[in-house]
Amino acid sequence: MIQGSDEWLQSRVGVVTASNFSKVFTTAGKLSTSREGLINQLIAEKLTNAPTETFKSSAMERGNELEPQARAMFEVIMGVEVEEIGLIKMEGHEIGCSSDGVFEDTGIEIKCPLPATHCAYLRANKLPSTYVQQVQGTMLVLGLEKYFFMSFHPEMKPLIIEIKRDNKLLELAEPLLIETADIIKSETERLRKEE
């Protein structure tokens, strides 16, 4: 299924997805203070069987439009063919991710930020802390040892970084993700019985 399609949005209803992993665990593997809000949001999605309406800024829309161009550039630079995938779930749990692309034994997370943000990423030359949980959690769900992060702006050079799996972080994060998915499941069932 195509990312962003109605089918894809529906498949994510009530699922703890990689873009929300930072609301479950911190970069130190501790419980995030944002978890309760995420739990309530995902229970509401399950009870209404509808995805949460999210605001899309013009910068976010621009990023979505540039992603295919970024993916094509990555393929040329790396000499690979990247396959787009829909939602992949962890076996036995409502925890999932939608990689921006997979190839060989790895995948890629693509961001197309505003010029100043891209410049900051280029200067730092490392995975932005904002995306640590998303990238590491995606490796957990997909069972990968490495992953690529790409920041793309059409008028500047791209940033491409290979990220290694952080097993220490994921050992702490996995139980928190599973516990979160279990709470969503049991609370949804409890609230449905009370209707």
Residue 100 lies in a domain: yes
Residue 1 lies in a domain: no
Residue 8: the pLDDT is 82
Residue 83 lies in a domain: yes
Per-residue model confidence as pLDDT tens digits over 110-150: 999 999 999 999 999 999 999 999 999 999 999 999 999 99
pLDDT grade for 1, boundaries at 50, 70 and 90:
low
Non-local CB neighbours of 151 within 8 Å, separated by 6+ positions: 111, 112, 113, 117, 118, 121, 122, 128, 158, 159
Residue 181 lies in a domain: yes
Which tokens is 3 given?
């990312």
* Structural domains in the chain (count): 1
Which tokens is 98 given?
């939608």
Per-residue model confidence as pLDDT tens digits over 92-116: 999 999 999 999 999 999 999 999 9
CATH assignment at residue 37 = 3.90.320.10
User: Domain range for residue 64?
Assistant: 6-193
